[in-house]
Amino acid sequence: MKATTGSSQTEPNPAPPLKGCDDVESLAEKYWALFYEEGPIELEEFLQQIKAGKHGDISPKEIDDFLDEMLATMLGNIQVKASESPEYEAMRADVEIQTEQRMARLKAEYGSRGSTDSPRGGN
């Protein structure tokens, strides 16, 4: 674990790949479908795609919920890594803070705090 683990990539969940983003329900499912089908994608890039309407009409609350879910996954991954080595454990608190701050920034920019509550995408 490096000190910049505020990275927006997370390890894939064990769910099988999903075909076609238009057929899935949640943003997390859309994110993981892209992850499995096209390779790792930064959260900010995915959020920019949402903002551009690539994934249909998405409400700011859905973005907030997605980012909360991704934060929980990332913090879980950090805790697992911290348990693997004393070096990682020593960095855990700082990395968790960096990760929480980054997610708060993304939420402020793309979620309900950064919008007027109108759906993203779908012109």
| Phi and psi torsions of 4, nearest 5° | -95, 25
- Domain extent listing, the chain: 21-114
How does pLDDT run across 50-66, given as a tens digit for each residue?
Answer: 999 999 899 999 999 99
Give the Cα separation of 103 and 4 in Å (integer): 14
| DSSP string across 60-117 | HHHHHHHHHHHHHHHHHHHHHHHHH-HHHHHHHHHHHHHHHHHHHHHHHHHSGGGS-S
pLDDT score of 119 more than 70 = no
- pLDDT attached to residue 20: 42
Task: Return the number of other C-beta atoms located less than 10 Å from residue 36's C-beta.
Answer: 14
The structure's pTM equals 0.72
